[in-house]
Structure 1
Amino acid sequence: MRPQDIVVLLKVLNNADRQWQYRDFASSLHLSVSEISESLQRSHLAGLVDDTKKKVYRQSLMEFIRYGLHYVFPQLPGTMVTGIATAHSHPFYNQLFKTEMNYVWPYEDGDIRGLSIQPLYKSVVSAVREDEVLYKALASIDIIRVGRVRELKVAIDELQKLIL
């Protein structure tokens, strides 16, 4: 698995009720068509999607996110930068958790300063600017990567609403 595989799977889930092609996701996720294809092939080998690569095994994905994500894609907050709010600094979570320090994906045109969190892949910031559901899901993923127990529970509950 590669980090962008999680993003691709979340995008597939967001479009489960629509017809889509690899090039649709390539465009919206700012990846190449071959990267989308390779990602779905890796997910198939991992048992996270079916043979058509268009149906995500929701329970398996949720188990991977809950129990394996922070081991496979760990993250430690970095230096203070300008960027796009993520983790508990995302607008949804910011209403629930009051903290002294923000977490952000580095982005020079961002609107908030905080400790940098490296996104799962470099063009995440561009992708989430066009997809609010994906943005919230990836902020939830970042909570799993860097959050505390209370934040983690809320993020998992929100992801379960999306995934299951």
Structure 2
Amino acid sequence: MKKHSGMRPQDIVVLLDIIAKGGSHWMMKDIAQEANISASEVSESLHRSYVAGLIDKSKKKVMRHALFEFLTHGLRYVFPQEPGAIVRGVPTAFSAPPLNNMIMSNEKLVWPYAKGTERGQSVEPLYPTVVEAALRNPNLHELLALVDALRVGRIRERELASIELEKRIMNGR
């Protein structure tokens, strides 16, 4: 049996990609292709998530309550992030849906991306391939933006992100 050496950022991306599918049937190669993560990395990620109690033994069903609890209470300590320099990129956190409709701010937070259309403070994504995966899948983009709001947001942004994540993770919306 492989040793569990702790969660990695791509593990969150893989789990959120599964959630974003909304119960659709998927295979590891689908996740690998969509998230631009190698199939072997996806396999190792699912194993780490199983050992951590975030996915069931079949590695097909996300343990939604455990994932929600980890995201809302532990993520910002395990994968912290602070906004950086002004760059061109893709909106995230409270600058992206759904929070951009709830929070009025002159600040913009973006994932650095040369083809991006917005300028704002840079937020390093959980995994380098996240930006293109999010651009192809609006549901995944929303989940990742909410997770970033938990990582970099102030109390109000984190509270709103938690409410929206609960709707999407716990209620399958």
TM above 0.5, yes or no, is: yes
Q: Mapping of 1:40-79 within 5 angstroms?
A: 40-79=46-85
2:142 pairs with 136, 151, 157, which one?
A: 136
Residue correspondences, number:
164
1:98 and 2:112 aligned: no
Alignment partner, residue 146 of structure 1: 152
SS at match of 2:119: strand
Output the amino acid matched with 2:91: A
Contact 1:22 1:37 in 2 (8 A): yes
Give yes or no for the alignment of 1:19 onto 2:25: yes
Segments of structure 1 that go 5 or more residues without pairing to the other structure are none
Where does residue 125 of structure 2 map in the other structure? 119
Match of 1:129, SS?
Answer: helix
* 2:97 and 2:145 in contact (8 A); partners too: no
Matches of 1:18 and 1:115, distance apart in 2 = 35
Matching of residue 109 in structure 1 with residue 115 in structure 2 = yes
- CA distance in 2 between partners of 1:15 and 1:100 (Å): 32
Runs of 4+ in 1 over 6 A off after TM superposition: none
Q: CA RMSD in A?
A: 1.0
Note the C-alpha offset of 1:100: 2.2
Are residues 1:2 and 2:5 paired? no
TM-score normalized by the length of structure 1: 0.97
Counterparts of 1:52 and 1:115, CA distance in 2: 40
Please state how far the C-alpha of 1:15 moved relative to its aligned partner. 2.7
Q: Distance in 2 between matches of 1:19 and 1:135?
A: 20
Following the alignment from structure 2 to structure 1, what is the Cα–Cα distance between the partners of residues 111 and 76?
17
Percent identity reads 48
Q: Using the TM superposition, give the Cα deviation of residue 17 of structure 1 relative to its aligned residue in structure 2, in angstroms.
A: 2.3
Tell whether 2:53 aligns with 1:30. Answer: no
| Maintained 8 Å contact 2:84/2:123 | yes
Q: Given that residues 16 and 55 in structure 1 are in contact (C-alpha distance below 8 angstroms), is that contact kept between their aligned partners in structure 2?
A: no
Cα offset, 1:109, TM superposition = 0.8
1:91/1:55 CA distance change after superposition, 3 Å? closer
